[in-house]
Structure formats: C-alpha cells, structure tokens
Amino acid sequence: STGYYDKPNLLGEEGEDLPKMMHYYKEAHPYYGHDVLVAGGKGTAPLASSELFKVDAICVPMNPMAAARRHHAASILPSGKLLVAGGTTDGNDALASCEVLDPATGTWASAASMNVARREHAAVLMPDGNVLVSGGVTSGGMTQFSAEVYIESSNQWINVPNMKLNRYSHTASLLHDGRVIVASYGSAEIYNPATNAWADPLTMVGPSLEDHSAVVLGDGRLMLVGGGGSAKNSAVLFDP
C-alpha cells in the first residue's frame, strides 16, 4: 500500500491486510529494482526493526538494527549494502553510530561512527561511490554547518568543508554533472566533489520548505514538494 503515515491507500494486492510496523518519517530504499527496504522510524518509540517489501506486496520482517533510531539517513553503497547513519533514539540526543545491512544475508554490521553525532541530516551517494552527509542537529540542539564523507572501501569518515549555511530537515540530491545540491528553508547550495568546495547559497523563489521531498528532473532542474509547516501542498521548481 501507499499513503501517509498510518493511513494507507490499499492497492488490492496480496498481503496488504497483514500486520505491519508504522515507520514514521523514513523513506524506503529500493533493492535491485524489485524489493524495498524500510528501516527504523517512530512508532511509540524509535524502532530498530526493518522490513523488506517484495514486488508482490508481501512484507517480510528482517533482522533488527543494533540501535533503535529515527531521523537517520540511509544510502545504498556501491557494494549494494545499505548504510544507515546517525539519528536519535530518544528524540533529543543525536547518534554518531552507523550500521550496514547486507541484503544477501539480511544481517546488520557496525560501521565506523561519524565524526559528528547528528539527526535530521541528509545523505547522498556521489559518483565516486562515497556518501556525503551534511547538516543536521546535535545532541545540544545545535544546527550543523558541518559535512563529512563516508568511504566504504576503508570504512572511514572524512571531514569536508562546512556548508555556508547551517541546515536540518533538508534534502541532498545528485545533479547530472556529479555535483550535490542541498536545499531547505528557501535556499540551496551546491557541493562540488571535484574541487571539494561549496558554492555560495542561492535563493529559491517560493515557500520555505523543510521535511520535503526532492527529485532531479530529466532536464536537470530540481523539484521540491511538500514538507512540514504551512507548505505541505507546495511545490518549488529550481534551476541550479
């Protein structure tokens, strides 16, 4: 089924009436064009659970993560494994810990911790196979400028230059030319991995969005839709 939080729009597929966890605030991650993984999120408390949704709409519970977490970020690595980074267990204290899921075995393993504990951050896989994590909120409630890169081959995090603006509940999207654009609260800025530098922020025309979704269109423009606050039904088209 699809839908909003715990209000599904049933598709008439087998398995839709089976019990399922509600994974509040987390996106699904496709595997091999057939399966979809949902990990963590918020029920009555942050979840360590994970589930695999097959194309025939049957939900298959998987091994739980070591740490219950929400407001985390997740990226599919070049190896096909899934990196889950940071988040929060209690809604306040941020996590630096990371875990990696091997979809072939369904098992989770610890990965190197981030240099900065953060929640409500954004992550994106870059063309070189490294994952860029940016922004977020620390345990003390401080919104972050910082950014770092995860290198799967060496299982390590490397600091990169700070963003120009502090951000949380933002999106990070890979542009067609290999640069990364982060967007939130009426502005966007672009990271160039070739020069290891952030460009000056750009102002976006339209409502100020947070907790929104973003997609890079075929013509290279960035579309931002929905989000929290008063902008739930808004859409912004941005040409970087």
pLDDT in tens, the chain (240 residues): 343 344 455 545 555 555 544 444 444 444 444 555 555 555 544 445 454 444 454 555 667 888 888 889 999 999 999 999 999 988 789 999 999 999 888 889 999 999 999 999 999 999 999 999 999 999 989 999 999 999 999 999 999 999 999 999 899 999 999 999 999 888 899 999 999 999 999 887 666 676 778 888 899 988 888 766 556 667 778 888
Query: What are the structure tokens assigned to 116, written together?
Result: 């900065």
Consecutive H or E run containing 122: strand 122-125
pLDDT for 2: 41
Q: What is the pLDDT of residue 55?
A: 47
Phi-psi region of 86 (alpha: psi -120 to 50; beta: other; left: phi over 0): left
| DSSP code of residue 114 | P
Tokens of 83: 């990196």
| CA–CA distance, 43 with 47 (Å, rounded to integer) | 7
Compute the Cα dihedral for 45, 48, 49, 50 and give only its sign.
Answer: positive
- What's the pTM value of the predicted model, to 2 decimals? 0.77
| Amino acid letter for position 70 | R
What residue type is assigned to position 142 of the chain?
M
Give the position of tokens 């003390």.
140
**DSSP assignment of 38-91, as one string?**
EE--BSSSB---EEEE-TTS-EEEEPPPSS--BS-EEEE-TTS-EEEE--BSSS
**CA nearest to 49, candidates 99, 1, 96:** 99
CA dihedral 181, 76, 225, 49 (to 10 degrees): -140
Res 160: pLDDT: 98
CB neighbourhood size of 52 (10 A):
19
The pLDDT value given to residue 85: 96
What's the order of all strands across the beta sheet hosting 122-125? 122-125, 131-134, 147-151, 156-160
How far apart (Å, rounded) are the C-alpha atoms in residues 61 and 52? 6
